[in-house]
Structure 1
Amino acid sequence: MAADALPEAPTTASAPLPSGKLVPLRTKDEVRASVETLQAYVVEIPARFANSVKDLIHEALPDFKPAEISHLRRVVQFKYLPAHLQKQFYPPARLQRGDQDTSPLSLSPCSTPLPPSPTGNESTEDLFTKDEDLVRYFVLCPTRYMQHADLHALLRRNPPFATMHSGPKLLYVTIPTLAPTSEEQATQWSDVYWPIAYKNTNPYGPHPSLVARNTAEIAEEAPTWLALAATAGSKICEHGIGEKIGCVVVDHSRETPEVVAVAGDCRWRSPVGSAETHAGGGNVMAHAVQRAIAMVAKKRLRMSGANPTLLDRSLFGDIPLTDAERPYYEKDNINPSGYLCVDLDIYLTHEPCVMCSMAILHSRFRRCIFAKRMPLTGGMTADTVGTTDVPGKGLQHGMFWRPSELNWKFLAWEWKSGDKDAEQSIDDTLHV
């Protein structure tokens, strides 16, 4: 035992975690895609005129790129519209059959009657009343590209509206600005906004198939490693030198996964190993993540034939301090030539702080899984799930996947369970 290691508390087995599931974290761009919407014009037209109207709009609006709304089904039958739009767009064919329209139409304020069409010409309005299956609802463009009156006048001068007794019926819809990032989101948006054309991809984060494959790979064992992390945090806390925070580093690239390092938090440990007063933030270099990374580095040195004790630094707490940590540190089960934490996974009791999130990123971890979100101090999550006292707040850094800004990315999950009595002793103002 190292000279400054702690005396042992009685060894206890890791308690199993409450039943739950792994929920992939959303990236910053995914969060943005899920909340940004815009207004667009929709016009009711006979099906056979859809292409001519499309060409008309594209010619009139050279700055408008159809790719902006390529995630939408641009031409839609009435029966595929969301229920709330069906009530708004109540089709004229139903009125022709004598149905009672009890819902207001989102009619263009510029829809004014015109003189009757010349004798012998079929009014295109007849197409609306013959068969509602011939009617289409066509997304023209976002409203920012043209004023309502100008668009109405443009349509009014061209087929099929030039021969109608009344002008085109322009309607407004709210649509998502960006493409959906999952099939589930596409289905939800199709119900809430407008029918979505999902392309089985995620332009703002890891591909859904990559996430699904990795989730399946770790789902069965995640509760085991998270329980071990909780044990490591509890053992340290019993000695008064740290919070109930722990982490486990696992090599899952082998046929049988192996634990490479286990570390608890020891921010309240003095340089000589005694417990300090719990004031301020404590020793930030002794967070569980920092200790675990240091242990991995020292194991690689040991495996390469170097003496890792030459690098002992009490400030980092980089030696095993409890029987929950020691067996894994002493086991020679890591490649000596690898780069720090490449291909390794890290399991944490709590979402890591910004500093530890960056340490995980720069150490090149492959995957990160944590059990308790820390909305006010955590660096991994990108959304705004807050606390009871501070709802909707959070740092929103989403550090695990920001490829345009950071030089590494990895997959990350939150373990969610229905246990309302799970560990709540950690103050969210503490950096973990």
Structure 2
Amino acid sequence: MSTPTPLAGRLVALRTKDEVRASLETHSAYVIEVPAKFANVVKDVVQAAVPGFKTSEISHLRRVVQFKYLPPYLQKQFYPPTRLPRGDEDNPAAPALLSTSPAPAPRDGSEDSAEQLHLVRYFLLCPTKHIQHADLFALLRQCPPFDAKNAAAPRVFYVTVPALAPISAEQAALWTDKYWPISYKNTNPYGPHPSLVQRNAAEIEGEAGGWLALANTAGKQISEKCLGEEIGVVVVDRMKGTPHVIAVAGDCRWRSPTGTTEEHTGTGNVMAHAVQRAIAMVAKKRLRAAGTDPALLDRSLFCDSPLTAVEKEYYERDNIASSGYLCVDLDIYLTNEPCVMCSMAILHSRFRRCIFTTRMTHTGGMTADSVDSNPSSAGLKNGLFWRPSELNWKFLAWEFKQDGKGKKASAVASAVPCKAMLHV
């Protein structure tokens, strides 16, 4: 059999369900303008007055920020700064105090205005849910420098900030420009660590296009027999360095338990999806490696025997150990995003990595976000590959973006008849 031409493209790591939530969830927080010297005093007073507030809630946000580091939209909102005491008025050698009058600083870029920008800081206090504005204002009035005679009233701003930490340096930079300066700690609290994803992607990116092309071949061969949709799966073992194809399977939803082709209506035989067939072939090969007749597992409902040339070629290879839990440490490549049932089968079979080319917006179980802003492409958003608090296994997953193709999302056109069933 000739080797199919590898697909050209790139791997895009899937976002987990929690990552998607983190990228969308925001809340309102208080920011005050305060002389740099008094920032810690104000922080301690507010912290003592709001015991329900834990600083861990906003640990991903910069607490004290200079004017020049604020995003442009906030610079426009906060400028000009109020004239406030420096905090060094007890030093006779210090320059004269800035006026404590609340009159705004000049907008002409004068040295006086620039000096005030250098002296003040913008302090992120806490989310607004913890204290009412009036109560906060009264509290600040008791803090220096706002408690001084004739002191300017504290300026309290409402700022929208991300409620959860960023998952990448790119997202942190985006949020810094859009919301508030972000502190990125080079980790991902809502999914696999970025270094883990990068390391695994680097290992498979050079060969992914080849395995996906083979999956395409499997889908075409089974479709030509009118047994299923043009969907294929390839199972690969690369734990020993050199990758080996363990199983190749196409979709057989239109094949009856007796082997005949059924009408292409409804869902067909869901137990004969390509993923289910590939997993069954892996199990039968392990039995064969152990010296047990794999025919013991033959079930006509599952269509778990090879039916095409490409399926037979790889099924007949003795290249898997008898030991090991089913598909543990194996990779699975798919022409299409697996449905919810097949996603759970992949999870419970203990696959290591999953890579697919085409999103299935109405049935897919792997993705957790929409393919675009179109409501019709919202998808199920299950993100079943990484939900450790709910499921007993997790693995890495990527969508393979083919070169020259835009955003692609589809559903299996189950009502389209196969060529062999057309009557002229």
| Interval of TM-score (by shorter of Structure 1 and Structure 2) | 0.7 to 0.9
Q: Give how far 1:425 is off.
A: 7.6
Q: Does 1:174 align with 2:160?
A: yes
Please point out which of 308, 321, 337 is paired with 1:351: 337
Match of 2:69 in 1: 80
Q: Contact 2:360–2:410 (CA<8 Å) still a contact in 1?
A: no
Q: Give how far 1:124 is off.
A: 7.1
**1:220-275 C-alpha deviation (Å, 9 max, x unpaired):** 00000011001100110011110010000000101210000000001001222221
- Tell me which amino acid in the other structure corresponds to 2:176: S
Q: Which runs of 4+ in 1 moved over 3 A?
A: 120-131, 418-426
Q: Contact 2:362–2:411 (CA<8 Å) still a contact in 1?
A: no
Match of 2:392 in 1: 407
Q: Does 1:26 align with 2:11?
A: no
- Tell me which amino acid in the other structure corresponds to 2:29: A
Q: Give how far 1:378 is off.
A: 0.3
Q: TM-score, normalised by structure 2?
A: 0.88
C-alpha distance in 2 between matches for 1:425 and 1:294: 26
**1:373-429 C-alpha deviation (Å, 9 max, x unpaired):** 1111100111133696x4352111111001111000000000112434899885378
**May I ask how many residue pairs the two structures share in their alignment?**
394
Cα 1:81–1:411, aligned 2, differ >3 Å: closer, same or farther? Answer: same
Q: Does 1:154 align with 2:143?
A: no
344-353 or 391-400, which moves further after superposition? 391-400
C-alpha distance in 2 between matches for 1:305 and 1:125: 90
Please point out which of 60, 64, 67 is paired with 1:71: 60
- Tell me which amino acid in the other structure corresponds to 1:16: P
Match of 2:26 in 1: 37
Q: Give how far 1:133 is off.
A: 1.6
155-164 or 338-347, which moves further after superposition? 155-164
- Tell me which amino acid in the other structure corresponds to 1:162: D
Q: Contact 1:377–1:429 (CA<8 Å) still a contact in 2?
A: no
Match of 1:340 in 2: 326
**1:164-222 C-alpha deviation (Å, 9 max, x unpaired):** 53200111110000011111111111111100010111111100110010010110000
Please point out which of 236, 239, 242 is paired with 2:222: 236
Q: Contact 1:375–1:387 (CA<8 Å) still a contact in 2?
A: no
Could you tell me which runs of 5 or more consecutive residues in structure 1 were left unpaired when the two chains were aligned.
Answer: 1-10, 97-119
Q: Give how far 1:16 is off.
A: 3.1
Q: TM-score, normalised by structure 1?
A: 0.86
C-alpha distance in 1 between matches for 2:273 and 2:299: 14
- Tell me which amino acid in the other structure corresponds to 1:66: T
Could you tell me which runs of 5 or more consecutive residues in structure 2 were left unpaired when the two chains were aligned.
Answer: 84-91, 106-111, 416-424
**1:288-326 C-alpha deviation (Å, 9 max, x unpaired):** 000000000000000000000122111111111111111
C-alpha distance in 1 between matches for 2:219 and 2:305: 15
C-alpha distance in 1 between matches for 2:136 and 2:99: 19
C-alpha distance in 2 between matches for 1:43 and 1:424: 46
C-alpha distance in 2 between matches for 1:377 and 1:418: 25
Q: Give how far 1:52 is off.
A: 0.3
- Tell me which amino acid in the other structure corresponds to 2:117: E
State, as a whole percentage, how many aligned pairs show the same letter: 65
C-alpha distance in 2 between matches for 1:331 and 1:279: 35
